[in-house]
Amino acid sequence: MTSSAALLPNTIRAYVIPGADINADEFIKPCTPRRNWMSETPQKYIYKCIPLVSANTMGWELFNPVDSDVTWNGGDMNTDISVTSLETHRFGMTSHFGCGMITWYVPFLFRTSPELGLLATGPSNHGRNDAVALEAFIRTDWLPFPFTMNWRLTRKNKTVHFSKGEPICRILPFPIAMLDETSLEIAELTDDPGFLAEVNAWGSKRMENVAKQASDATRWLKTGEKPTGEGVWNSQYVRKKGKGAEGFLPHQTLFSCAPPVDKR
C-alpha cells in the first residue's frame, strides 16, 4: 500500500483509478528512442539527428488499450463522432467534447511533488496525418482529479484507426515556476566576440561536412561505394565542444526515464 505522505522532490505518483483492474505495464512505459518511420529511412540515417532522438526519450508514454475506428461527419456535437472498438474497454477511445475531438480517460490520477506539473502531449515524433494530439499542462501538484488525453480529427468523413498498444500520450514533468522565473534577452551576436568566434568555427566545420556528404553521395550514386563517417552524418553535436583530451567534452544526448515501480 502506498503511503499518503507528501511526495519527495521530483517525484511522480500514478494512483490507479478505483475499480481499474489493470496491468500498469500495458498502459504506461518510459519513452524509447526508436520509431518505425525512422527505422525505415535509408541506413536509418535520421537517428543521427541527436536532438530529435533526445526528444523521443523524454518522459513516459500512455497506450491505447483497444483497436478502435473513429469517423467524424464534420459536426460540432459529440454524436457527430462515431467510435467502433474491437471490444468494450473502460479506458478506450470515446467521444466526449465534440467538434471532431476524441478522448481517452486514463486509468491513473497523477500527483507530482509541489514544484512539478505534468505536460501532456502527443507521443514525440509519432506523427500521423489524420489526427493531431492536443497538448495540456496539468497542475498535478494539487488537482484531485484525473485528466483526459484528447486528439482532434483533421479529416471529415474518413475512418481513422487507432491500434491497440499505440502510444496516445506522452507525460513530461515540468517545473511550475520555471517559465515565470525565466527571462528572455535579445542581444547582438557581435557584442559577444568570443561566442561569435565559436559560432563561425562551428559553421565552417558544418559547411565542410555538408560538402563532404554531398561529394560522398555523388560518388555513391556513380560507383556504389557507400559513405562512412562524416559522409553519412555530422558528428559535431554528438561530440559537442571543449578542451578535452580529444578536443571535445562529453555531454548527455539521450534520456533514460525509469520504469514505473508498481507498489500496489
Query: Domain range holding 227?
Result: 189-233
User: Residue 259 domain-assigned?
Assistant: no
Express each pLDDT in 147-182 by its tens digit: 999 999 999 999 999 999 999 999 999 999 999 999
User: Does position 258 have pLDDT exceeding 90, yes or no?
Assistant: yes
Grid coordinates given for 130: 489524420
- Alpha-carbon distance of 49 to 234, in angstroms, equals 9
The reply to whether 122 and 20 lie within a common domain is yes
User: Residue 114 domain-assigned?
Assistant: yes
What is the pLDDT confidence band of residue 251, given thresholds at 50, 70 and 90? low
- Alpha-carbon distance of 28 to 146, in angstroms, equals 15
- Alpha-carbon distance of 47 to 54, in angstroms, equals 10
Express each pLDDT in 56-114 by its tens digit: 999 999 999 999 999 999 999 999 999 999 999 999 999 999 999 999 999 999 999 99
What phi, psi does 149 have (nearest 5°)?
A: -105, 130
Q: Provide the number of structural domains found in the chain.
A: 2
| 199 SS3 class | helix
CATH number of the domain residue 73 falls in: 2.70.40.10
Grid coordinates given for 20: 481499474
Q: Is residue 103 within 8 Å of residue 93, measured between CB atoms?
A: yes
User: Residue 158 domain-assigned?
Assistant: yes
Whole-Å CA distances, 23 to 107, 134, 259: 10, 26, 14
